[in-house]
Amino acid sequence: MKTIYNARHSEHAAQHEFFRGEKVEAFEKPARADFVLDAIRDANFGEVIAPTPFPDSVVTRVHTERYVNFIRGAHDEHLALGGTGDAFPSVWSIRGMRSDVEPKNFAARMGLYSFDSGTPLTPGAYAVARAGADCALTGAALLSSGEASAFVLTRPPGHHSGSDFFGGYCFLNNAAIAAQSLLDNGCKRVAILDVDYHHGNGTQEIFYSRNDVFFASIHADPATDYPFFLGNADERGAGAGVGFNLNLPLAQGASPDVWFSALDVATQRIEAFRPDVLIVSLGVDTYEGDPISHFKLRTREDYPRIGAAVAKLRLPTLFVLEGGYGVREIGANVIATLGGFSS
């Protein structure tokens, strides 16, 4: 299995974030990818390659042009207005307010295109996210050319980013961009399996009314966990997409047995969908020691089982790194999953 690695990822290094109203050290940090790369190399787990550059037109098949244009220049605008350090939103457009008209005010546009105050927009955020999209597109191209699998090693993650918003540390939705590219290059159906602790609200929003992408997510119940306002079991899709969105929310503290029962449901539905290719949004913040999550999966016992379950689907598979914040353990958990898939 080839790993497509975003060597620019460390250019996005947040100084801090806000967590439960407190200013804290950023959880989403360069060490995340560093530990995964170390684990890949220590295990001699295939070739590590650089991404191929792709045009912005491929990215704007998923994200709106006005959103991409904004995040591309947002930090420079922040500095030009006298800002220092990382940029954070401070106001938001909510129910009853308009979102179709783009304000001229920078703070207003920050709020228009974001949904939380915990996602620092750093000087390198756009360039690094854009390089990450190229990694995902390179992985998709490998599958289109006949590769059986590939792993996209990049940060920041992507699954919380929707068609025109960022949040949850995410600016561009790598899994969604890869899925759309695969469809544009001959696939008829693509399935996305999101195993991150947090619901992939951005991925759901992008494909919610479509029947060419089946999205399944196993995650913490939004009644108690981020992103809170999406990810309920009754969200099955809209219009042509009804029945093509599967949410499997679980209670905090869910045991491995409960989690794998949900995985069985998800894989059965994916098999019934008969996709041409599978994308796995691989979050390993389901780990029992993760600092901001509350599931109980274990490195040696459980992560190989995830990979093995995915392998049983016998589909060309693209793994895309999402969350995982127990830093040192993230590498072991990722390599255990990929190893279970390949064994």
Catalytically active residues are 160
Peptide bond into 227 cis (omega under 30): yes
Give which of 23, 7, 3 is closest to 15, Cα–Cα: 23
Residue owning tokens 């974030």: 17
The H helix count followed by the E strand count for the chain is: 10, 10
Q: Tell me the two tokens of residue 181.
A: 């590219």
SS3 of 150, please?
Answer: strand
DSSP one-letter string for 27-51: SS-THHHHHHHHHHHHTT-S-EEPP
Cα Rg of the chain (Å, integer) = 18
Yes or no: say if 194 and 200 are a contact pair by the CB < 8 Å rule. Answer: yes
Query: What is the number of other CB atoms lying within 10 angstroms of the CB of residue 71?
Result: 24
* Token couple for 141: 């191209």
Residue 102, both tokens: 């783009």
Q: CA-CA distance, 264 to 252, in Å (whole number)?
A: 19
Residue 300 gets which letter from DSSP? Answer: H
Residue 220: what are its φ and ψ, rounded to 5°? -70, 145
Q: Please count the other Cβ atoms lying within 10 Å of the Cβ belonging to residue 1.
A: 18
What gap in Å lies between CA 46 and CA 123, rounded to an integer?
Answer: 32
Q: Give the span between the Cα atoms of 260 and 189, in whole angstroms.
A: 25
Supply φ then ψ for residue 277, to 5 degrees.
Answer: -155, 155
Widest pairwise Cα distance in the chain: 55
